[in-house]
A and B are shown apart, each in its own frame.
Chain A
Amino acid sequence: MKVCNGNKLLISQLIDGELSPEEELQLRDHMGRCPACRAYYEELSFISGHMDDIDFPDDLHASIMSAVEQSRGGGKKPLCFRRKTPPVIGAVAAAIMIVFAGVIGVKSGIISFGSSGKPYESVNMSGSAETADLMMAPPQMSLKQADGSRADEEASDGEDGGGREIEEKAGSSYPVTIDSTMTGWFNSAEGNVTVLKQIDTESYTDSGEELTARVEELSAALDGQFSGYGFYMVAFGQSQDLPDVFADQAGDVYPGMTLLIDVKNDLSVREQISCSMTENGFDVYDDQDGEYFTINAEAEDGLVIIELDGE
């Protein structure tokens, strides 16, 4: 027996209650006369009905609440209750570091970084000694606010009280060797990574339009003059928080996701890398190598443009 032509789709929709009353009546009438279609409907209904037919652990609720509670007590404040306007430079510093972790981390394994002021202990990278030194200390970076102003503020570690000055230097760049990337997009390169621009997202998380305009401005300003790759770190956001120019291309976006964007050419989203929450932050996975690096949970949503020469 064969299901009548076109009815597989209709039967699936019937199970989902997605047919109009007329369509449903017609299909049910047909199934009353057609054993093949009726059997198909019963089989699909059976499968659909058993997909969530599982038993639940008795301690499901308690174990979830306990895990949430433990996550609160892990030394980090719960992020959802943090103040709405964190220090801009703190966010910038975190985002800048994402670039380095993003570029170098694949080869390096776990790189922890953040606002603790501690050295970056886990770094074992394949770059030069200068590169390693770079990672052992807060970087000197070039940064520019979205509105074009310079950031001459002193970064603070806030609650840690450790305090750390971020000295701004235009065009700072750092030598790196990249043996592989998280995407395979460029496989091997040696050159300088330059932080060209970082857009603070705090001002645009509530306004996609504003950010879209800024990204377009940025794109126009860059005008294909450099080999730029952007990392858009979606630490907290949802799809609707993304600027339109990215949202239109991106699939679903979750908190903890990183978008790798081709800033040089067309602002296309080249890769979406999902991350998983850990005690320390996010683990970002490299699909190809199965290695990962860690992004501190205090990171903010943000777009960081880097230049990689010597590609």
Chain B
Amino acid sequence: MNEKELVRRAKEGEQAAFEQLVTMYEKKVYATAYRYLGNEADALDMSQEVFIRVFRFLGKFNEDSSFSTWLYRITINVCKDGIKKRGSRNELPLEMPDDEKGTYVNEIRDDRYDPVDIYERAELNRTIRDGIESLPPNYRDIIIMRDVCGLSYEEISDTLKLEIGTVKSRISRARERMRKYLLQYGNKPASFRSNP
């Protein structure tokens, strides 16, 4: 069943269709929230609120427009509100040992990597998180829209009411700032070459 059909059915109240939409987008929504809020607990809260809102407002969604774009707009708005509500970002640090064994409760866990890789990945994650936070809001929004949500230039242009040329250049500048941040503050992984 394609997305339009799912949306149509969900609007009609079909629970299974709504749940399938959640399945399709929950990871992107969570990733976006994680990049805005910087920790798992808040990202989960925001993800829940996004889909509560989607559920409530789906009846008003115009099916001629893109569901994903609409969803990501809500996501970004919810995340921004979440930051406002909380007052500041990143209250839960990524790398605080929480017990005697040094378990990193909030750390990214992934058994596919050895301890060095785990550390390196967590470190990279933290640096990216801090780098995003260091960006001016308009750069932060646009790089998250592009690199996390995966919105096209056109969708971003439509969402932010910007000319395509501005979108291109702003994404480029946001990435350049992120690059500089990682070069300056990051414990750079070997795969990230320096380019002085």
Chain B interface size range: 35 or more
Asked if A220 lies at the interface with its beta carbon under 8 angstroms from chain B, I say: no
Chain A positions within 8 Å of B62 at CB level? 238, 240-241
A275 to B84, CA, bound (A): 10
Residue from A61, A236, A275, A297 in contact with B60 in the complex, judged by beta carbons closer than 8 Å = A236
Chain A positions within 8 Å of B191 at CB level? 46
Asked if B139 lies at the interface with its beta carbon under 8 angstroms from chain A, I say: no
Contact A276 B56 (CB under 8 A): no
Chain B positions within 8 Å of A297 at CB level? 56
Contact A237 B193 (CB under 8 A): no
Chain A positions within 8 Å of B70 at CB level? 238
Chain B positions within 8 Å of A64 at CB level? 22, 26, 47-48, 51
Chain A positions within 8 Å of B153 at CB level? 16, 18
Contact B60 A1 (CB under 8 A): no
Chain B positions within 8 Å of A60 at CB level? 26-27, 30, 44, 47
Residue from A13, A50, A56, A290 in contact with B128 in the complex, judged by beta carbons closer than 8 Å = A50
Chain B positions within 8 Å of A81 at CB level? 13, 59
Contact A285 B60 (CB under 8 A): no
Chain A contacts with B in 242-299, Cβ cutoff 8 A: 250-252, 254-257, 274-277, 283, 285, 287, 290, 297
Asked if A39 lies at the interface with its beta carbon under 8 angstroms from chain B, I say: yes
Contact A44 B55 (CB under 8 A): no
Asked if A160 lies at the interface with its beta carbon under 8 angstroms from chain B, I say: no
Contact B57 A79 (CB under 8 A): yes
A67 to B175, CA, bound (A): 35
Chain A contacts with B in 6-43, Cβ cutoff 8 A: 8-9, 11-13, 15-16, 18, 36, 39-40, 42-43
Asked if B168 lies at the interface with its beta carbon under 8 angstroms from chain A, I say: yes
Chain B positions within 8 Å of A71 at CB level? 52, 55-56
Contact B44 A57 (CB under 8 A): yes
A63-B44, A68-B55, A81-B59 provided; 4 other pairs, C-beta below 8 A? A44-B175, A51-B147, A64-B26, A287-B84
A-B interface, 9 closest residue pairs, ranked by CB to CB distance from nearest:
A80-B59, A67-B48, A12-B172, A51-B147, A276-B81, A236-B60, A39-B195, A254-B77, A80-B58
Q: List 5 A-B contacts (CB under 8 A).
A: A48-B147, A50-B125, A54-B30, A80-B56, A82-B59
Interface residues of B (CB under 8 A from A): 11, 13, 18-19, 22-23, 26-28, 30-31, 34-35, 40, 44, 47-49, 51-53, 55-62, 65, 70, 73-74, 77-78, 80-82, 84-85, 87, 108-110, 121, 124-125, 128, 143-144, 146-148, 150, 153, 159-161, 168-169, 171-172, 175-176, 178-179, 182-183, 191-196
